[in-house]
Amino acid sequence: MAKKLWEKSTTVNPEIERFTIGKDRELDLLLARYDILGSIAHSTMLRSIGMLTTEEMENLHNELRSIYEETEHGNFVIEEGVEDVHSQVELMLTRKLGDTGKKIHSGRSRNDQVLVDLKLFTRNGLQEICEGVMTLFGSLIEQSEKHKDVLMPGYTHLQVAMPSSFGLWFGAYAESLADDMLFLKAAYSMCNRNPLGSAAGYGSSFPLNRTMTTELLGFDSMNYNVVYAQMGRGKCERNVAYALASVAGTLAKLAFDACMFNSQNFGFIKLPAQCTTGSSIMPHKKNPDVFELLRAKCNRLQALPTDIILIMNNLPSGYFRDLQIIKELFLPAFSELKECIGMATYIVQRIEANRDILSDQRYDAMFSVEEVNRLALEGMPFRDAYKKVGLDIEAGNFAPDKNIRHTHEGSIGNLCNEKITELMHETFCSMDFEKARSAERALLKR
């Protein structure tokens, strides 16, 4: 069994070891590639301040890039008895390079290693989420434009209220995602700051060049205060979780609408047959299971910020092992939300809208406001017009005019989709994802 990095003469009780390691070995596989990127940057910096020779640095880089390739091909493992990804990488370097492998930990702690790993993981995860959101956004705008003249009922209190359209319905979720992208941008800006060099939270007596590692890793800036760099763990995850939860909230509401509108009692949309499931005893059933599961998963994701708060909210400054548990909640959230976005996009692109909803007389009364407004435009006081139309409805004399002529911004006749798209692209393009990707490619270049 491999010796712990911190182990001296005392051997830890196996049950204590199992409990304290928890799911780290499993979850740290998600962080492996980022730990290697951080180590390449850190060793480059160590060479610049004379703590490694050029030959030692190059040997370390060659081995680190080989290990990175193992992570890319799914061959990287954390061996039995090894605590975490940081220990595994250092163990592999030491086996190959002897004392040179042991030198790489100079000027850093596992605390700032996991911090930089989490920042890099989160940065990459947010980019993938943003790209997925953009694809879903594009599908919603496309459907909105395609169905801009197809009317449907709008509801308040789940009562038929006023005319709406599928253009408005699809477009509303597109604009919701545009707002969600603002949260994602804020989250990306917060996580894109370099904590490396904060060591255990109080800096180092080595003359570290933190500006160099910041540039090498493609961060926008650093977490300057070393105490805050450590204190920010948990806070960063919490705020990123709010951004993920914002997207999840949009998807959950869309899923609820889709399930309801797909039911026979509404019949507003038809989901693609290949995206529904059947019943074991009812041969007619086509269940919207994908949207139901998407709704449940996204509702659970909306609890993530609260879960994180309850773990880290009453901790003082400095590092505590409590923070390890956040990884169990936080790391898997990216793949789950990414999958939900992908599923939503696939089905949204294939939803069929009922173009003849309003032939059903039960929806006639929703045109009452149109008639009130028409009378008011002709000069009748609004309250008199309201009363007249109400009495006509009660007497069964109301004959709706279903020709809708809205013109104001954001209404049935003027969706403003081009403005919504402009807002979304402005936010998305303000995040310089290529800077981060270029920095990572440069570190891996042999």
Domain boundary among 76, 103, 130: 103
Note whether residue 74 is domain-resident.
yes
Claim to verify: residue 376 and residue 250 sit in the same structural domain: no
- 3-state class (DSSP) for residue 155: strand
Domain boundary among 54, 76, 103: 103
Per the structure, the complete domain to which residue 124 belongs is given by 110-208+222-356+426-444
Task: Indicate if 296 and 148 belong to the same structural domain.
Answer: yes
| CATH number of the domain that residue 259 is part of | 1.20.200.10
Same domain, 142 and 265: yes
List, for residues 373-411, the tens digit of each pLDDT value: 999 999 999 999 999 999 999 999 999 999 888 999 999
Average pLDDT over residues 178-202: 96
Tokens at 223, concatenated: 């977490």
Q: Can you tell me the mean pLDDT for 173-192?
A: 98
Residues 384-416: b if buried by 16+ CB within 10 A, e if exposed: ebbeebeeeeeeeebebeeebeeeeeebbeebe
Model pLDDT, residue 1: 46
Report which secondary-structure segment, H or E, holds 162.
strand 159-165
pLDDT tens-place string over residues 282-305: 767 678 888 999 999 999 999 999
Determine the average pLDDT of the residues in 85-109.
Answer: 95
Does residue 185 lie in a domain region? yes
- Is 389 contained in some domain? yes
User: Is residue 81 assigned to a domain?
Assistant: yes
Q: Do 309 and 342 sit in the same domain of this protein? A: yes
Among residues 103, 126, 158, the one where a domain terminates is 103
Lowest mean pLDDT among 102-106, 195-199, 266-270, 275-279: 275-279
Which helix (H) or strand (E) segment holds residue 160: the answer is strand 159-165
Residue 1 falls within a domain, yes or no?
A: no
Question: With bands split at pLDDT 50, 70 and 90, how would you rate the model's confidence at 3?
Answer: low
Q: What pTM value is reported for the model? A: 0.92
Q: Is residue 8 part of a domain?
A: no
Lowest model confidence (mean pLDDT) among 126-135, 182-191, 397-406, 430-439 = 397-406
- Closest alpha carbon to 201 in 281, 277, 308, 315: 315
Strands 352-353 and 269-270: antiparallel
Specify the CATH number for the domain of residue 18. 1.10.275.10
Q: Which range has the worst mean pLDDT, 3-7, 250-254, 426-430, 442-446?
A: 3-7
**Structural domain total, the chain:** 3
Nearest Cα neighbor of 297 from 237, 260, 245, 242 is 245
pLDDT at 6: 46
Domain contains 99:
yes
> Is 380 found in the same domain as 288?
no
pLDDT at 280: 67
Give CA–CA dist 365/361, Å, rounded.
8
Residues 300 and 183 in one domain: yes
Per-residue pLDDT, averaged over 436-440, amounts to: 97
Asked if residue 139 and residue 170 are part of one domain, the reply reads yes
**What integer pLDDT is reported at residue 8 of this predicted model?**
55
* pLDDT surpassing 60 at residue 5: no
Of residues 1 and 163, more confidence is placed in 163
pLDDT over 90 at 54, yes or no: yes
Grade residue 20 by pLDDT with cuts at 50, 70 and 90. low
Residue 83 lies in a domain: yes
Determine the average pLDDT of the residues in 131-137: 98
- What is the pLDDT, as a whole number, of residue 2? 53
- 9 pLDDT above the threshold of 70: no
Indicate whether 53 and 181 sit together in one domain: no
Domain shared by 194 and 314, yes or no:
yes
CA atoms within 13 A on the CB side of 82: 17
The verdict on 395 and 256 lying in the same domain is no
Would you place residue 45 in the very low, low, confident or very high pLDDT band (cuts 50, 70, 90)? very high
Q: Does residue 82 share a domain with residue 173?
A: no
Task: Give the integer Cα–Cα distance in Å for 221 and 196.
Answer: 11
Q: Which residues of 370-383 are buried (b: 16+ CB within 10 A; e: fewer)?
A: bbbeebeeeeeeee
Same structural domain, 308 and 364: no
Q: What is the mean pLDDT of residues 237-241?
A: 97
